[in-house]
Structure 1
Amino acid sequence: MKDIEQQFLNELDAQLWKAADKLRSHLDAANYKHVVLGLIFLKYVSDAFEERQQELIELFQKDDDDNIYHMPRDDYDSDEDYKQAIEAELEINDYYTEKNVFWVPKIARWNTLKEKIILPTNSVIGENEQGEDVKMRSASWLIDNAFDEIEKANPKLKGILNRISQYQLDTDKLIGLVNEFSTTKFHDPEYKGEKLNLKSKDILGHVYEYFLGEFALAEGKQGGQYYTPKSIVTLIVEMLEPYKGRVYDPAMGSGGFFVSSDKFIEEHAKIKHYDAAEQKKQISVYGQESNPTTWKLAAMNMAIRGIDFNFGKKNADSFLDDQHPDLRADFVMANPPFNMKDWWHEKLADDVRWTINTNGEKRILTPPAGNANFAWMLHMLYHLAPTGSMALLLANGSMSSNTNNEGEIRRTLVEQDLVECMVALPGQLFTNTQIPACIWFLTKDKSARNGKRDRRGEVLFIDARNLGYMKDRVLRDFKEEDTRQITNTFHKWQREWSEENNQAGFCFSANFATIQKHDFVLTPGRYVGAEAEEDDGVPFAEKMAALTSQLKAQFEESDKLEAQIKQNLAGLGFNV
């Protein structure tokens, strides 16, 4: 993205967030996010619909032998007849759905809503009703009615749009928000006199993602349950490289991994000069989420991005009500709640997902009932295709804990050569927890294929705890170069590696025997060792003598200061 486009988006983020944040004094973040994100979605589907309309108008009028949409002017008696014919043709649903654009009924289009909301009419609210309550009801009712009509016209969206009447938002605040989105230019934007190469759906998708992050920060611990830091999502996606195939997230939150995969495909298409739209058709997205409001956020997120998705028939618990029982995905990515305790049910005993084939025999490795960490891992492995790869964010304890059955599960995963890479992350990356985290990368096939070398019997350990920077007093983040360093190391290890590539304090490729010596503890710090200090050329004996002399002088200075303090206190009458 060009710098000027990024500047435009940054200013737009700040402008719209400032407008939305005015609601904070009237609603808590958990509620006002639904109002704001709902309006963003409404603006998106309307803008996308209007963009397609403009394309169709040009196609209808374009005289070209290869243009199947052309409507010849000579077929109509007058210009008015021709205009009416085009207007009628523009209302045919198929022209929009064929381009993955949602059909928006007239009553739900943004311009219609804007006029009715800002200037409520008696035809909407009733001739005998007056006052502030009526205005509020008309505005919120119109928006909710628009959601109703859009869901009726687009079965894919049924049940995912949150109605806003329930939040009883102040009239002026709601109208002000509608005005803010109405006056902001999303279509063919210009910035500092330069026309930008950004489409409205790209801008609104960016705004939606930005708002999700800001709401997560505003909500604190609760908000983090639906939002994984963008830098971590990007890191995992760039390491796994999901160009094509089935992508699955059993704890999807708001769908961040899918959005990042979509962006990754676009960037990859640019580099390889592929058609991004055609490349995206080779990706199928599957997800699951237990929280009903978060499930809706994810579906809206996909709709705004134009990503086709299958999130099951409903929000549901991945362990107790698996919405994709027969799925075998090429890529599985997840950031489930860390150390989740309340997950077990007796009907999960001897579940097929806990079964691992060891030396031709099936072995049941039931995860501990008091911690879901390895339950997520085994669930994901079960849904992984024979040549698939997966990444799972877990608490650091998963790398070393021997509680209940965890040590045995971890040992079996290593013995079955399923573990590919372990990444230890810095602290303070998450809005909802201070628990140190790591990323497990697993695969069912480490043999040489698709440009990768034979990695069987090896595991790469990366200690990234010293990377990143403090973006504020509370949160740490990765820079692009941090992500690139980790990603390049992993890909190099997959394709070509020698002992010289091991880097003290950062990365180490260990074989089975080495891991066995460490009792199958997978903490990267145990393997990468300490970073070698730069040799300053001073002999050790000389350096030790200088340090000893310095320490002696500091002790003497400390004694002098202590004596002076006692003397001063005695002069003030204190008995010391």
Structure 2
Amino acid sequence: MAKKTTTKKQKSIEETLWDSANKLRGTVESSEYKHVVLSLIFLKFASDKFEERRKELIQEGKEKYLEMKEFYNMKNVFFLPEASRWSYLIEHAKQDDIALKIDTALHTVEKNNPALKGALPDNYFSRLNMDVSKLSALLDTINNIDTLKDKEQDIVGRVYEYFLSKFALAEGKGKGEFYTPKSIVNLIAEMIEPYKGIIYDPACGSGGMFVQSIKFIESHHGDKKEVSIYGQEYTATTYKLAKMNLAIRGIAANLGDVPADTFAKDQHKDLKADFIMANPPFNQKDWRADNELLDDPRWKGYDVPPKSNANYGWILNMVSKLSQNGVAGFILANGALSGGGEEYKIRKKLIENNLVEAIVILPRNMFYTTDISVTLWILNNNKKERSVKLPDTTRNYRNRENEILFMDLRQIGEPFEKKYTQFSNTHIEDIAKTYHNWQCHSELVEESYQNIPEYCYSAKIEEVKAKDYSLVPSKYIEFVNRDENITFEDKMKSLQTEMTDLLKQEEASKNDLLQVFKKLGYDIKL
């Protein structure tokens, strides 16, 4: 009889790194893991790309250009002096000054490549005082990873997403920092279609919106050279991660000269963006002092957003940045859909100015840091009839100035990592199709738009006014009462069956537990 062989499942890059990072316990705070790992992954990836390009130059007979950075930069490859190369670090991995050597490597890479200015940590590893043996072990683990296997060159993003998911509750909830799940970013991109022009994110985090925008353009045969990227990030470490995340993919971006608060120090004051994608902090409190930003030009034509909650501050910041035909897709907590005071006045004005195009309620449990349901807003500065040529189609928009599309996606989604929810590619395609069908002339799309109970409803502005400018989708989308034809007797019989099953399960569990104790020699008398 042939011996049965088992194939050991190969660990993913993320799992391998997590195992290694766990070995840093007691040496480095858990919140630092991702920064330690990402900096080293960056060096490994940059070095792998450098060595690959170096071999190309040798094969082309251009040995005399091997130390000239221009011949690397022209292919979106960072030039690495010898002391910055991964092979050099591995060679010296077990030496006492390896932390200093890593810091020197990072500093030298940044110095030699202007695109990385402000992206890499300064004297980071030296300040951590890590145990040399543990740091050396981590280097060995990363050394076994082939970073060029990932054709999408998404190593930094994948690892960042994985590590943030592990520490989201510990790091994010208290600080109001949220990582935007990939399927939500993909949905925003598919709906607003950022093919060409300026893309802006006022709270860009690690740059995930930008990365997915570029992937969207490439997947639809667009040209990423036709977009310009602008963003801003307040947290210094996240600002560095964003610059690293974009630079490693060859994505040019202006994230401001320094990390800074978008409200207190707007680094893109005169910017007019064609597309805005954002996931600003939810319900940010005390975002300005009582007498600060009262005359800010971003609120022109609107009331000053209340200092108790920044939601409408973020909205008006984005409205002020929209170009003539600009479209914005962003996530906010559901509380922004209703409420009084200054928020009511601003919301009313946004609706009357025909800026609100779609309000989309998302399912719960999509975020690592909160289980609440949130809303995707789409604002459009031009809801008039027009045609727009896209790489793979032409959108013939109808006039939608007197309408707002409401969508409820809370019954849509698939399980993700057991306790989370995400949209599949098919979900995203179907949702975007509904939205685009609603936008366009019915005779020019495959399926004309129609209102669907518990899913979507196209409301006239008069209807929204009649509901006192509330943007809560459930006030417009038809709800189907599935219990309306069920009698009291039928309902009680159904409950009786359910309760009987539950009580039987409870009895069986109790007996199993008693048997376990009995086998151990402890008979429990009830």
TM, length-normalised to structure 2: 0.84
Helix, strand or coil for the counterpart of 1:331?
strand
Does residue 528 of structure 1 match 2:477?
yes
Write the mapping of 1:337-376 to structure 2, written as runs, cut at 5 A.
337-345=281-289, 346-355=291-300, 363-376=301-314
Write the mapping of 1:274-285 to structure 2, written as runs, cut at 5 A.
279-285=223-229
1:429–1:476 Cα contact (<8 Å) kept: yes
Helix, strand or coil for the counterpart of 1:348?
coil
Residue identity opposite 2:427 in structure 1 = D
CA distance in 1, matches of 2:494, 2:455: 32
Structure 1 position 407, deviation (Å): 0.8
Identify the residue that residue 140 of structure 1 maps to in structure 2. Answer: 99
Aligned length: 476
CA distance in 2, matches of 1:365, 1:466: 36
Identify the residue that residue 400 of structure 1 maps to in structure 2. Answer: 338
Identify the residue that residue 424 of structure 1 maps to in structure 2. Answer: 361
Quick check: 484-493 or 204-213, which moved more? 204-213
Match of 2:179 among 221, 227, 251: 227
CA distance in 1, matches of 2:333, 2:266: 24
Identify the residue that residue 197 of structure 2 maps to in structure 1. Answer: 245
Structure 1 position 502, deviation (Å): 0.5
- Which is higher, the Rg of structure 1 or of structure 2? 1
CA distance in 1, matches of 2:9, 2:199: 32
Structure 1 position 215, deviation (Å): 4.5
Write the mapping of 1:127-206 to structure 2, written as runs, cut at 5 A.
135=96, 138-162=97-121, 163-187=124-148, 189=149, 198-199=150-151, 201-203=153-155, 206=158
1:24–1:32 Cα contact (<8 Å) kept: no
Helix, strand or coil for the counterpart of 1:305?
coil
Does residue 503 of structure 1 match 2:452?
yes
CA distance in 1, matches of 2:80, 2:493: 77
CA distance in 1, matches of 2:466, 2:347: 14
Match of 1:512 among 450, 461, 464: 461
Q: Are residues 113 and 17 of structure 1, via their aligned partners in 2, closer, same or farther at CA, if it must alter by over 3 Å?
A: same
Helix, strand or coil for the counterpart of 1:36?
helix
Structure 1 position 12, deviation (Å): 2.8
Structure 1 position 48, deviation (Å): 1.6
Residue identity opposite 1:178 in structure 2 = L
1:117–1:142 Cα contact (<8 Å) kept: no
Structure 1 position 9, deviation (Å): 9.7
Structure 1 position 159, deviation (Å): 2.8
CA deviations on 1:62-106 (whole Å, 9 max, x unpaired) are xxxxxxxxx6xxxxxxxxxxxxxx1x3111111112222222111
2:361–2:473 Cα contact (<8 Å) kept: yes
TM, length-normalised to structure 1: 0.77
Higher share of residues assigned helix: 1
Helix, strand or coil for the counterpart of 2:330?
strand
Helix, strand or coil for the counterpart of 1:338?
coil
Q: Are residues 447 and 265 of structure 1, via their aligned partners in 2, closer, same or farther at CA, if it must alter by over 3 Å?
A: same
Q: Are residues 545 and 20 of structure 1, via their aligned partners in 2, closer, same or farther at CA, if it must alter by over 3 Å?
A: closer
Quick check: 103-112 or 208-217, which moved more? 208-217
**Gaps (5+ residues) in structure 2?**
1-7, 389-394, 501-526
1:253–1:295 Cα contact (<8 Å) kept: yes
**Gaps (5+ residues) in structure 1?**
1-6, 61-70, 72-85, 121-134, 190-197, 356-362, 558-576
Q: Are residues 34 and 222 of structure 1, via their aligned partners in 2, closer, same or farther at CA, if it must alter by over 3 Å?
A: farther
Write the mapping of 1:547-562 to structure 2, written as runs, cut at 5 A.
547=490, 550=493
Write the mapping of 1:261-272 to structure 2, written as runs, cut at 5 A.
261-269=213-221
Helix, strand or coil for the counterpart of 1:23?
coil
Identify the residue that residue 439 of structure 1 maps to in structure 2. Answer: 376
CA distance in 1, matches of 2:132, 2:55: 33
Identify the residue that residue 565 of structure 1 maps to in structure 2. Answer: none
CA deviations on 1:488-520 (whole Å, 9 max, x unpaired) are 211211124599610001100111111111111
Structure 1 position 209, deviation (Å): 4.4
CA distance in 2, matches of 1:165, 1:143: 9
CA distance in 2, matches of 1:463, 1:336: 21
User: Alpha carbon RMSD of aligned pairs, Å?
Assistant: 2.7
Helix, strand or coil for the counterpart of 2:317?
helix
Q: Are residues 528 and 54 of structure 1, via their aligned partners in 2, closer, same or farther at CA, if it must alter by over 3 Å?
A: same
Structure 1 position 238, deviation (Å): 1.6
CA distance in 1, matches of 2:361, 2:10: 32
Write the mapping of 1:533-544 to structure 2, written as runs, cut at 5 A.
533=482, 544=487
Identify the residue that residue 317 of structure 1 maps to in structure 2. Answer: 261
Identify the residue that residue 45 of structure 1 maps to in structure 2. Answer: 46
Helix, strand or coil for the counterpart of 1:201?
coil
CA distance in 2, matches of 1:395, 1:553: 39
Identify the residue that residue 94 of structure 1 maps to in structure 2. Answer: 70
Helix, strand or coil for the counterpart of 1:466?
coil
Match of 2:87 among 105, 111, 136: 111
CA distance in 2, matches of 1:167, 1:553: 62
Q: Are residues 479 and 229 of structure 1, via their aligned partners in 2, closer, same or farther at CA, if it must alter by over 3 Å?
A: same
1:224–1:431 Cα contact (<8 Å) kept: no
Write the mapping of 1:11-30 to structure 2, written as runs, cut at 5 A.
11-30=12-31
Q: Are residues 482 and 10 of structure 1, via their aligned partners in 2, closer, same or farther at CA, if it must alter by over 3 Å?
A: farther
CA distance in 1, matches of 2:495, 2:13: 60
CA deviations on 1:197-243 (whole Å, 9 max, x unpaired) are x4483455544544444443664525871521222112112211111
1:244–1:283 Cα contact (<8 Å) kept: yes
